[in-house]
Amino acid sequence: METKKSYFEEFDHIFSNEQKSIDYLYNLRWANGWECPRCSHSEHWKVGNMKYKCKECGYQSTIISGTSLQRSHLPASKWLKSAWYIANETSCANALEMMNVIDLGSYHTALSVLDKLRAAISRCEKQKLKDTVIVDDVHIKSDTDGFTYHTYIAVEVIENGYGHISMELHSQTDYHSFIRRNIASGSTIRTNGINIYARVPEKYKLMVINKKSGSKLLPLIEDVVDEILNRRLLGGRQSACSDKKTNMCLEECCFKFNRRNKKAESLFEEILLGMIKNYQNLN
């Protein structure tokens, strides 16, 4: 297995020591300066490498308190390097590879880190698909162990092809709930019109389309699935796992697919913000 990634050269240049990683997290969490989590007071003392004490109420907190990094014993630089790995890998992330290239110590630790980063991705901002959207269900089979992802998939239709996509595990939702959760009301839903696809929820329009000759999938969805498989966003380095973890794999796939034209640095920051800011809003 490859043990060196060229994109880590830039990471090592930017984050040349642990303090720079800590400073980066500080600026992400408190872009406008430190604020007490208890009383919102801004004046404080620094009482440790990552710990601060409020001058108003005396409450002590660290940069990672109240985030998904809390109680972690890994250095900040390891978390940042793991997020950098996910942001720069065009294919799906792999815990075994992470363990080796980032020196996370054990597969258990690497898997825990990957799970938390994928959970952060699931909390990143998602815009609903709109205007004209094709909806179908697909089976994406792993080429490593034969495990199949049976998912609902929605593909936004744009002038030059496809835009954003959404995917959810078929067994964890239903067709109408998937549409309401992922597609803006008023949109036109294009389906094959067979069985459950013969109707759409209220406030949506239905347009039935024909499949290409010899194809098992609707036009455009077939192109999207081909790109997902070619980029190994699913199917190549996954294995059978719980429904929760499978959905997180789907979240990573959609996150990378929908941001395929963005720079890795942008994805890196967005993932870390998901770990720090959005986590606090959910707890």
Distance separating alpha carbons of residues 269 and 256, to the nearest angstrom: 14
Number of C-beta neighbours around residue 122 at 10 A: 16
191, 206 Cβ separation under 8 angstroms: yes
pLDDT at 212: 65
For the chain, what's the residue count? 283
Q: Which pLDDT score is estimated for 239?
A: 46
For residue 224, CA distances in Å to 62, 105, 153 come to 43, 36, 10
**Predicted pLDDT of residue 214:** 59
Task: Walk along the chain (283 residues) and give the pLDDT tens digit of each residue.
Answer: 445 789 999 999 999 999 999 999 999 999 899 999 899 999 999 998 889 999 999 999 999 988 989 889 999 999 999 999 999 998 889 899 999 999 999 999 999 999 999 999 999 989 999 999 999 999 887 555 456 788 999 999 999 899 999 999 999 999 999 999 999 999 999 999 999 999 999 999 999 987 765 566 788 898 999 999 888 888 555 444 567 788 888 999 999 999 999 999 999 999 999 998 755 554 4
Q: How many alpha carbons lie under 13 Å from residue 51 in its C-beta half-sphere?
A: 6
- Rounded Cα–Cα distance for residues 167 and 253 (Å): 9
Residues 6+ apart with CB under 8 A from 68: 116, 119, 120, 275, 276, 279
**What is the reported pTM?**
0.89
Residue 182 has phi, psi (to 5 degrees) of -115, -10
Helix/strand/coil (H, E, C) string of 109-168? HHHHHHHHHHHHHHCCCCCCECCEEEEEEEEEECCCCCCEEEEEEEEEEECCEEEEEEEE
Q: How far is residue 67's CA from residue 280's CA, in Å, rounded to a whole number?
A: 6
Q: CA-based Rg of the chain, rounded to a whole angstrom?
A: 21
The pLDDT, as a whole number, for residue 283 is 46
Q: Average per-residue pLDDT in the chain?
A: 89
* Phi, psi (rounded to 5 degrees) for 214: 80, 0
Give tens-digit pLDDT for 88-106: 998 889 899 999 999 999 9
